[in-house]
């Protein structure tokens, strides 16, 4: 009886340790939430892009300097 209890304890301990490691690793590997980026539309070609990448002219947004020049 003593040996069977020891084996059962080792099996339960090993299974519990494996489950704990599995679920604790999932928390660490989750990607951080993406930050929201404000999108704007090019007034010339209707392309949407991040505001940081856009060019502004007279309160209008453009995807490149060429489109800003072409759109008078």
For residue 62, CA distances in Å to 9, 15, 37, 44, 68 come to 68, 58, 16, 7, 6
Q: What's the pLDDT score for residue 34?
A: 72
Domain edges within the chain: 39-70
Least confident of 3-7, 19-23, 52-56, 60-64: 19-23
Q: 39 with 48: CB under 8 angstroms?
A: yes
Q: What's the pLDDT score for residue 67?
A: 94
Q: Answer yes or no: pTM beyond 0.75.
A: no
Q: Which helix (DSSP H) or strand (DSSP E) does residue 21 occupy?
A: helix 2-29
State pLDDT tens for residues 15-54.
Answer: 999 998 888 876 665 667 677 789 999 999 999 999 999 9
């Amino acid at each position: 009886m003593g040996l069977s209890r020891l084996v059962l304890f080792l099996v339960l301990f090993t299974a519990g340790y494996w489950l704990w490691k599995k679920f604790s690793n999932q928390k660490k590997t989750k990607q951080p939430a993406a930050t929201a980026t404000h999108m704007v539309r090019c007034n010339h070609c209707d392309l949407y892009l991040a505001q940081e990448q856009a060019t502004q002219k007279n309160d209008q947004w453009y995807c490149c300097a060429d489109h800003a020049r072409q759109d008078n």
